[in-house]
Amino acid sequence: MGIFDSLLKKIVGAGNAGCVLGSRLSENGKHTVLLLEAGQEPHPGLSVPAIVTNYTKTADYVRRYMSVPQRNANLESNGILAGHSPYDYDGWANITNDDSWKYSNMLEYLKKSENYQGNFPSDQHGYDGPIPVANHGMLQDWRIG
């Protein structure tokens, strides 16, 4: 039996959901967790707002999936570590007819994943989670200037 066969929990994808799931499963010490991610470390240029689009449309950072021909089908997936996360939780709630997906209901769980280190404290942020989050320095300079 190899190492991959002996692991109790395998999670594919290190987006917000994968990271939170991995953290929650491993925090009691009873589970061994393997978190697999195909995304790579972000290029430093991805943190410069003026040139970020130069990198986000290249094959290194975007996966394109084939679909049947149809209008308005854009099947791209971010290939950067942590993927991309949905922003419109209320839209998910409407589509699924399930209010548990509303942002106000998801916020508690989003905060558990976040370790906010930015300059603008808020009750919208978590401070004890495993994923460090901060405001981008250049963006802050732009807003202040």
- CATH of 86-145 given 1.10.20, 1.10.1220, 1.20.950, 1.10.3470: 1.10.1220
* Residue 76 to residue 95: CA distance in whole angstroms: 21
* Residue 42 to residue 14: CA distance in whole angstroms: 14
Q: Where in the chain is the domain with CATH 1.10.1220?
A: 86-145
Q: What pTM, to 2 d.p., does this model score?
A: 0.44
pLDDT (tens, 9 = 90+) of the chain, 145 residues, equals 566 555 578 888 777 778 778 888 888 888 888 888 776 666 676 666 667 667 666 666 666 666 677 766 655 555 554 444 444 678 778 888 999 888 888 888 888 888 888 877 788 889 998 888 876 555 544 445 4
Residues comprising the chain, all counted = 145
